[in-house]
Copies of this chain bind each other. A is one copy, B any other.
Amino acid sequence: MKQIKLEPGLRYDGSQIKPLWAFQDLRVKGSSIVNWIGPMNIQPDELIDYEDVGLEIKSDEMIHFIIEHFDAQPADMRLCYHRQRILVMIVKDLLQEIGIKTQRRGDDLYCNGGKLSVSIATCSASSMKIHFAMNLTTKGTPSDVETAGLMECSRDRGVDEISKLADKISETYVNEILDIEEDIAKTRVF
């Protein structure tokens, strides 16, 4: 599974959740996790989460993760949402380690009562995709939702530290998936 970091600036508009985005736009073939810092503004017709219909999904600066898995064929939404949860729990854990305490409800993280993150999982017949992103600040987030930003939860963190944290999250996730595969290969079944 490849681990990619993009230059800051790419706007997440919902098109990146589409299958094979990493191959078509980044020439990354196979399972991958990509992270970058950039704004978000999801176009209504790119919505994947039908609970979000009619809502504004936007923020001026976020740390984004896009994951694509090709290992399970055909792709499996159930497995995909389990992986999303594992990702979110890894993030919560690594934030805790650097002193940022968050609460998790499903696939959302909260900080001081404000919503810190957005996330969705989806799939086609052949690949499973996850998007997870956290606000750096609350700038540009919807006015009708209480939001939080990583740099505000913990004022002394700079963008650099968050960028490093992102790499640590990617690496931990990749290792976790690898570790699970290894556990399958040591286990007797009935």
Contact = CB atoms under 8 A, between A and B. Distances in A.
Interface of A: 18-20, 23-24, 29-31, 47-51, 53, 70-79, 81-83, 85-86, 89-90, 92-93, 96, 104, 106-107, 120-127, 176, 179-190
A93 B189 CA distance: 29
Contact of A187 (B122, B184, B186, B188): B122
A29 B85 CA distance: 20
Contacts of A189: 19, 77, 122-126
Contact of A89 (B79, B81, B89, B185): B89
Contacts of A120: 187
Given A86-B86, A89-B93, A125-B125, 8 more contacts: A19-B190, A24-B50, A73-B76, A78-B180, A78-B184, A96-B96, A106-B179, A122-B189
Nearest to A73: B78
A30 B19 CA distance: 24
Contacts of A74: 74-77, 123, 125
B190 A124 contact: yes
15 contacts: A24-B50, A31-B185, A48-B187, A49-B186, A49-B188, A50-B188, A77-B125, A78-B181, A82-B86, A82-B180, A122-B187, A122-B188, A123-B126, A125-B125, A125-B189
Contact of A51 (B47, B73, B179, B186): B186
